[in-house]
């Protein structure tokens, strides 16, 4: 188990793993997020990440999207909702999200960088 004690997700078409890194945690997404309502899965997951990061005063979440072949717009909304939570944080609780993207997956090249514009300074992409 990881330091936030969050269960990984292993559904038929999507897997999300969580591993510890020195400055915080890393989440790895693989598969496709194309269900009718991804918020059922993603909202509680990102909420746990968010509250765990704050509770433990960790500095960074690395969100590795490189294995995610497809993410529908409802899924993008769930990610945007998580990122927007960063706006409520003060100096003590604030953490950053570093997105890792795959240059060979077209939607990642076009859509993932736009997420860095939601909260200036809160999200980095590489």
Q: Mark 53-92 with x for binding to ligand ATP (rule: CB under 6 A) and - for no binding.
A: --------------------xx--x---------------
Number of residues that bind other proteins (CB under 8 A): 26
C-beta of residue 45 within 8 angstroms of C-beta of residue 9: yes
Residues 6 or more apart whose Cβ sits within 8 Å of residue 80: 115, 118
Q: CB of residue 124 vs ligand ATP: minimum separation in angstroms?
A: 25
Q: Counting contacts by CB under 8 A, is residue 110 touching other proteins?
A: yes
Positions 21 through 50 that interact with other proteins (CB under 8 A): 32, 34-37, 39
Taking Cα atoms as reference points, which of 45, 39, 44 lies closest to residue 16? 45
Q: Which stretch binds other proteins (CB under 8 A): 18-26, 59-67, 90-98, 99-107?
A: 99-107
- For 19-47, what is the HEC assignment? EEECCEEEEEEEEEECCCCCHHHHHHHHH
Q: Residue 9's beta-bridge partner residues?
A: 16
Q: Residue 17's beta-bridge partner residues?
A: 28
Contact footprint for other proteins (CB under 8 A): 32, 34-37, 39, 70, 72-74, 76-77, 80-81, 83-84, 105-107, 109-111, 114-115, 117-118
Contact footprint for ligand ATP (CB under 6 A): 73-74, 77
């Amino acid at each position: 188990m990881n330091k936030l004690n969050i269960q990984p997700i292993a559904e038929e078409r999507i897997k999300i793993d969580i591993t510890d890194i020195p400055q915080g945690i890393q989440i790895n997404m693989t598969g496709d997020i194309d269900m009718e309502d991804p918020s059922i899965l993603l909202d509680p997951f990102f909420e746990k990440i968010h509250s765990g990061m704050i509770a433990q005063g960790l500095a960074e979440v690395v969100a590795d999207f490189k294995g995610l072949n497809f993410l529908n717009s409802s899924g993008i909304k769930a990610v945007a909702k998580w990122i927007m939570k960063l706006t409520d944080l003060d100096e003590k609780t604030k953490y950053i999200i570093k997105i890792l993207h795959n240059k060979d997956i077209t939607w990642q090249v076009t859509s993932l960088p736009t997420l860095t514009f939601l909260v200036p300074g809160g999200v980095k992409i590489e």
